[in-house]
Amino acid sequence: MTDELNSTSNSAPSTETVKEASPSLRFGENVELEEYTMTLGDQLPPQEPRRRGELLPSRAKRPIPRSSKKHFVGQLVFNRGEHRQRLGFASLYEHNAALCFIYRPDFLDIEEQLASLPFVLPNGTKSEHFFDFRVTFRGGRRVCISVKPERIAQTYEYRAKMDCIRQAAIGNICDDVRTVTERNIDPVELHNAKLFHSARDADAEMDARVIAALQMVTSPVRIGKFLAETGLEGKGFRSVARAIRFGQAKLFNREKITGRSLIIRGEAS
């Protein structure tokens, strides 16, 4: 997720466009993504099942359709402290935005479909708004998120409406209000967030072997070569992903993480 999210101001948008990733499932299909895994370059072996915490229900205050003919709807499960948390989404954009938020280094929590927020439209009419997400960052900052296609977010009508919603929300249910469109989804960050999501559960034995091997890394090395030299091969790929996520390893270049990516020892190793 790029830091420059769309605000409700009338500032000129960036001209960069980002194509929406194609879903691996059919539109309208009810998706249960607890075991959601993306194959990234090399074929990853199945991950061994691990003991997990309690699975907490969705916190959505507004029902999310279980299926839709026109939208990518479903649930994903992310690790929230000692527990696993269900998170519903009502579009592919929402799914992608949520993953990018969850795997930011400063992420703490995310809630979906908040309770209705009363506000007054520019013409004085009373109305209500449902935010798609509220993201809480480390340090306590809370940001309410509306996810919209870029073609809608750039209209005058939408911006005027969001100005009113922003006034009602800030200081009441959040510290800031932002709009996320497909242009805010960085393809590199999304790719890596999907990998981190597939590797979100620790493998104590494998992770320890990877971290120990990283102590011997003195210069940039490709992930595939690193795993081959340590004898872990493809089964250690997710552990390397976790090491990158938590700072024991570091990407030499900002890129999509694959077996060809160069890594160096991280500061947390």
CATH number, domain with residue 247? 1.10.10
**Based on the domain organization, do 56 and 127 belong to the same domain?**
yes
CB 192 within 8 A of CB 256: yes
Tell me the pLDDT tens digit for each residue of 193-217: 999 999 999 999 999 999 999 999 9
* Shared-domain flag, residues 56 and 138: yes
Same domain for 222 and 175: no
Total number of domains constituting the chain: 2
Q: Would you say residue 2 lies in a domain?
A: no
How confident is the model at residue 109, as a pLDDT? 98
| Residue at 236 is within a domain | yes
| Residues 136, 99 within the same domain | yes
Neighbouring C-alpha atoms within 13 Å toward the C-beta of 257: 27
One domain for residues 69 and 120: yes
Domain check: are 163 and 69 in the same one? yes
Amino acid at 225: K
pLDDT of residue 32: 36
Element (H, E) at 101: helix 92-102
**61-104 per-position pLDDT tens digit:** 998 877 776 778 899 999 998 899 999 999 999 999 999 999 99
In-domain check, residue 112: yes
pLDDT at 269: 66
Do 84 and 208 reside in the same domain of the chain?
no
Decide if 1 is inside a domain: no
Rounded CA-CA distance 82/154 in Å is 40
pTM score: 0.80
CATH of the domain at 58: 3.40.1350.10
Rounded Cα gap, residues 235 and 248, in angstroms: 18
Tokens of 69: 């003919």
Range of the domain at 68: 31-36+52-187
Answer whether residue 193 is part of any domain: no
Residues 152 and 212 in one domain: no
| Residues 171 and 216 reside in one and the same domain | no
Q: Is residue 42 part of a domain?
A: no
- Ranges of residues in the chain with a pLDDT under 50 are 8-49
Whether 93 and 5 have beta carbons less than 8 Å apart is answered as: no
Residue 19 domain-assigned (yes or no)? no
* Residue at which a domain ends, from 187, 212, 229: 187
Look at residue 37 in the predicted model and tell me its pLDDT: 33
Residue 189 has phi, psi (to 5 degrees) of -65, -40
**Pairwise CA distance, residues 226 & 268, whole Å:** 18
Tell me whether residue 3 is in a domain.
no
